[in-house]
Amino acid sequence: MKRLAILLLALVLGGTAMAQMLNPAIWKFKVVEVSDKVVELQFRLSLNKGWVIYSQQSDPNGPIPIEFTFNDSKDYLRLGKVDEPKPIKEFDDEFGVAVAYFKDEVIFSQTIVRATDKAFTVQGKISYQLCKDGSTIAPNEQPFTFMVPANGDNDVLFDFSENGKEGYMDRTGKTVIRPQWDGVRPFQEGVAWVRQGDKWGLIDTTGKYIVKPTYGGTNDFTEGLAMVVIGPEFGGKCGYIDKTGKMVISARFGYAGEFHEGLAFVQLDYENGKYGYIDKTGKMVIPPQFDYAMNFSEGRAVVRMNGKYGYIDKSGTIVIDCNYSNAREFCDGLADVSFNNKYGFIDLQGREVIALKYQNVIHFSEGVALVNAGTNWADDKYGFINKRGETVIPCQYKDANIFSEGLAAVRVGNLWGFIDHNGKMVIQPQFASGGVFMDGLALVGITRNGESWLAYIDKQGRVLKEWPDTEVWDFE
């Protein structure tokens, strides 16, 4: 890597607007509560194409390594140093040292332990150097602030089953809402759907009914609204309620989806109707004209016409032609599509950025996408690629799941374990199936005396709660 000329930011960037225009690094910060006492702070960095940032492991005699500085606080204790994935390493002839760097996207994380149950902030700064093709931005500083909620303010509840009924537990496995329903769904936006017989009702986090079991079908709450079905789940009429249970869009649709980016797809006739889109007032803003439609994501929505899939914008204009055999929603600027039974990725302009050569792919998550490089469905070989299409974890697994909270489930032989972003097996293969980590826990399948059970595990692989599997579960 060539020695790079340093640009002094104070001289080059003549103001905030100019700095925003030139800055090739976008930082996002997230708090993940692992347990009552343990919190993970995530620093997510997205770099413009061609730019790199240098690892904490990089030789200080070369380019400036990234450094995290935390302000003193009595509210928490740091566990170890900031963790980072495995960097790219190569010898730099100009510096005469080995450099270690990251490109595209990287997530750093710091684990802390609470010293108080009150809400507190974690503040500090990140110092680093950015380089691209002979240009350098350095020194560079990014302040950060994490708002850690009071212990109990952000309690997450997990659904589980006991004696044929379903209820909710906390992260430790303690029952919070006793199992009493025939079916439940995860809490979303502070409320959850529960089923008694064939009717769905709505509860709050104490288990109190907001709406008693009334509806034949429902969707999760998104953007403050949820679709409900009056009458049978298939063939009834769909409308929308708010979190108080008030009907805000009358039940007049044959089928309806969730609200995303202010719009929801609907059918006027469940059996033969075309798909269009409504806004949150119930007004039809994109007239029914599509054979099939999906949610909006990043200003685009998948639609099907004449058996082929493409994308529209929020005006209903087709902006990516309906040429694909299959297509899915955009995530982090890319969408997976297929043609002639091969999958790859396109960008928001419809340009093919990762060749359509895979047996299957799953959307990008935490900077990597799950791909199947097998030659046919009997020859599954799952691994992970980055946004440049480079394989970062070899395609060697019989099955796998997406990355979430730094871990991904992979199948080795007939058993599932969990790997980190370096491909290291951190939870050894031992499960019958593997889900994704959410709020510090993952749902897995286990075997007890020859029978199928389900369990929640933590990031050390410890089982917190288990029960007989009487349902068909979607582990994604």
Give the model confidence (pLDDT) of 204-258 as tens digits: 999 999 999 999 999 999 999 999 999 998 889 999 999 999 999 999 999 999 9
CA–CA separation, 208 and 191 (whole Å): 10
Pairing of strands 135-148, 5-7: parallel
Choice between 172 and 272, residue whose per-residue pLDDT is larger: 172
For residue range 147-198, what is the model confidence (pLDDT) as tens digits? 888 775 456 899 999 999 999 998 888 999 999 999 999 998 889 999 999 9
For residue range 433-446, what is the model confidence (pLDDT) as tens digits? 999 998 889 999 99
| 5-148 and 291-395: identical CATH topology | no
Residues 6+ apart with CB under 8 A from 29: 41, 42, 43, 44, 144, 145, 146
**pLDDT at residue 19 above 60?**
no
pLDDT above 90 covers what percent of the chain? 65
**pLDDT at residue 8 above 80?**
no
CB 391 within 8 A of CB 378: no
**pLDDT at residue 475 above 60?**
no
Nearest to 24 by CA among 35, 14, 33, 13: 13
CB 100 within 8 A of CB 62: no
Domain ranges of the chain: 5-148, 291-395, 398-476
Tokens of 50: 């061609």
CA trace torsion 249, 255, 258, 261 (10° rounding)? -80
Choice between 426 and 406, residue whose per-residue pLDDT is larger: 426
Q: Which residues pair with 105 in a beta bridge?
A: 46
Class of domain 5-148: mainly beta
CA–CA separation, 416 and 93 (whole Å): 43
Residue 419 to residues 15, 117, 181, 234, Cα–Cα distance (Å) = 43, 32, 35, 40
Class of domain 291-395: mainly beta
CA–CA separation, 469 and 455 (whole Å): 9
Choice between 55 and 189, residue whose per-residue pLDDT is larger: 55
**What is the tally of helices (H) and strands (E) in the chain?**
2, 46
Confidence of residue 21 (pLDDT cuts 50, 70, 90): very low
Residue with tokens 């079991």: 213
